[in-house]
Amino acid sequence: MWHQLNLFESEPQIQLCYNPRRKGSWLVTWKGGQAHVELPLIFRFAPSEIDNALMQWVTLSQNKRRAKNKLLLKQWESIIFGYLRSPHLAIDKKHLEEEWRLFNLKQAQSARIRKNRYKPRGNHQDLTPVFSWINEMFFNSKLEAQLTWTRGWSGTSYHTQRKDEKGKLYDLICISRGYDQPDMTKEILGGVVYHECLHIVIPPKIAEGRRFIHTPEFKKAEKLYPWYKDWVDWHKNVLPVKLRNQKRKPLKTKSWLSLKIKSLF
């Protein structure tokens, strides 16, 4: 659960957000002369001297490169970390547990709402049978994922992970609405579904501080799809045209004049 508080009316403004997931660190983001500070929940019960040390640290962090500020920042940090590492924190534990319970409850409700919002059936195509076909043909029906269409007319499809109401991760495949066409073939739609399924089987790799999504292993497996060339050709040449045409279509709205005329007869 987030709690926001404006500490200063004068510059700089500092806005505090308490996040129960944070433990022994805090995050400061400066935007438009305003500091957004994300703190562990235990700071909500911190004594006034710790609040003052934190505000001083945030104010000085705007100009970290100054030698004088660096020295002062270390001094305030030692006070703050001393409080965090203290074994005798004066915290209302019952209140803290209640805050954590409410936070988890809100997260579970949000996860439930998100999951109910996923709709694999589009205006013309249904992703569920296509996913089952790809899953059975290439992955021995071992993959489990939620499927849905993008909200807007974007050409981007993606795979990501979400948490359900119990906090367990599940895979979500979101397919570009540009594929939801009346003349769409199973093989072409299966191409993009197969591509996103590969992201589940072959996760990104991190090397030398960089994150590689489409690794050589991924590209090799992608070309094993029998209709790979047909899908790539459609994705590169036909999909952009479909998206442009869709965006040019006028909205189907009835004007006030036409409704007025209709009411006279």
Q: What is the pLDDT of residue 229?
A: 96
pTM of the model: 0.55
pLDDT at residue 226 is higher than 80: yes
pLDDT-based confidence at 241, cuts 50/70/90?
Answer: very high
- Among 19-33, 100-114, 234-248, the range with the most confident prediction by mean pLDDT is 234-248
Angle at 177 between CA 251 and CA 157, to 5 degrees: 145
Q: Give the C-alpha separation, 179 to 150, whole Å.
A: 10
Cβ partners under 8 Å of residue 39, min gap 6:
16, 17, 18, 19, 22, 26, 54
Tell me what percent of the chain is helix, strand and coil, each rounded to the nearest 5.
Answer: 50, 20, 30
pLDDT in tens, 146-196: 999 988 888 899 999 887 777 788 899 999 999 999 999 999 999 999 999
pLDDT at residue 88 is higher than 60: no
Q: What is the pLDDT of residue 3?
A: 40
Distances (CA, A) of 176 to 15, 148, 224, 225, 242: 37, 9, 22, 19, 11
Nearest to 106 by CA among 165, 154, 65: 165
pLDDT-based confidence at 114, cuts 50/70/90?
Answer: low
Q: What is the pLDDT of residue 257?
A: 44
The residues pairing with 149 across neighbouring beta strands, listed in sequence order, are: 175
Average pLDDT of the segment spanning 11-34: 74
pLDDT at residue 225 is higher than 70: yes
Rounded mean pLDDT of the chain? 78
Q: Give the C-alpha separation, 72 to 53, whole Å.
A: 10
Pick the more confident residue, 35 or 138. 138
Alpha helices in 86-210 (DSSP H): 93-117, 127-139, 186-201
Nearest to 193 by CA among 180, 174, 214: 174
Cβ partners under 8 Å of residue 159, min gap 6:
145, 171, 172, 173, 174, 196, 197, 199, 200
Q: Give the C-alpha separation, 53 to 76, whole Å.
A: 6
Average pLDDT of the segment spanning 67-73: 77
Nearest to 91 by CA among 63, 50, 124: 50
Give the lowest-confidence range in 23-37, 76-90, 212-226, 234-248.
Answer: 76-90
Backbone angles phi, psi at 149, to 5 degrees: -105, 155
CATH architecture of 118-248: 2-Layer Sandwich (3.30)
Pick the more confident residue, 265 or 168. 168
Backbone angles phi, psi at 238, to 5 degrees: -95, -45
Nearest to 201 by CA among 209, 193, 189, 210: 193
Spell out the domain ranges in the chain: 1-117, 118-248
Pick the more confident residue, 264 or 148. 148
Q: What is the percent of the chain with per-residue pLDDT over 90, rounded to a whole number?
A: 34
Q: What is the pLDDT of residue 107?
A: 64
